[in-house]
Structure 1
Amino acid sequence: MTQTSTLPTLDGRTFRMVSSTTSAVDPDAPSVFRYFEQDGVIWGDYTGDTVTIGRFVGTRSGDTIQVSFVHVLAATGEVVTGDGESDIERGDDGMLRLVEHYEMHGAPQLSVCVETAAG
């Protein structure tokens, strides 16, 4: 199921959203994502900014992850579901970042999350 990766496991790492084409990111309270990984399986949760609570599950192949997600919007209580693909990259600072490609509201979207120092 998994290809060899050049980057470390996501298990136990935390990421914060820094940009998104879906909505403006609150720099003081961005969405925060907690990742877990075992044997090519990815799962986790997220909250903050425009999301009350969210969950995701998927797989990793090399330095790419595929996930399905569901979350509740803070403003309306609407439940949103979807699928996405993220490229795992190492930033110039040595921290991991996720470049996420997904579809929402019938249009392709892009967001970037960076590993937190505690991650």
Structure 2
Amino acid sequence: MVSSTTSVVDPDAPSVFRYFEADGMIWGDYTGDTVTIGRFVGTRTDDTIWVSFVHVLASDGSVVTGDGESEIELTDDGMLRLVEHYEMHGAPQLSVCVEAPAA
């Protein structure tokens, strides 16, 4: 994750997401920064991903749930960028995740 309206992203230890896909189904997990652990599941149609998510906040252990929609974009260097629109705490939010190069 490189940016989020929900929280300040720690550039040295951002939340890291792992996405998997089979036959248009999307699922995965995420952890780091403000999240102890999170999971999501959803679908992809063309360049749009729709997911439902749940995660536990590192700050107080509270559970957060929601739904989101992401547009898949291609960066100038050929990596994927997800522009995520979701609602949290009753307000619309925006996050951007960028594919990390293979280690």
TM-score for both structures, normalised by structure 1: 0.85
TM-aligned CA deviation for residue 93 of structure 1: 1.2
User: Runs of 4+ in structure 1 displaced over 4 angstroms?
Assistant: none
From 18, 21, 30, the equivalent of 1:46 is: 30
Cα distance in 2 for residues equivalent to 1:118 and 1:49: 21
Identical residues among aligned pairs (%)? 85
| 2:16 aligned residue | 32
Q: Distance in 2 between matches of 1:87 and 1:26?
A: 23
Alpha-carbon distance in structure 2 between the residues aligned to 1:35 and 1:20: 18
Question: What's the offset of the Cα at 1:22?
Answer: 0.3
Offset of 1:69 from its aligned partner? 0.1
Aligned length: 103
**Unaligned 5+ runs, structure 1:** 1-16
Instruction: State the distance in 2 between where 1:99 and 1:92 align.
Output: 15
Instruction: Tell me: higher relative CO, structure 1 or 2? Use CA pairs within 8 A at least 6 residues apart.
Output: 1
- Mapped partners of 2:32, 2:48: distance in 1: 24
- Residue 91 (structure 1) aligns with: 75
Alignment of 1:1-119 (within 5 A): 17-118=1-102
Q: What is the CA distance between 1:80 and its match in structure 2?
A: 0.2
Gapped regions of structure 2 (runs ≥ 5)? none
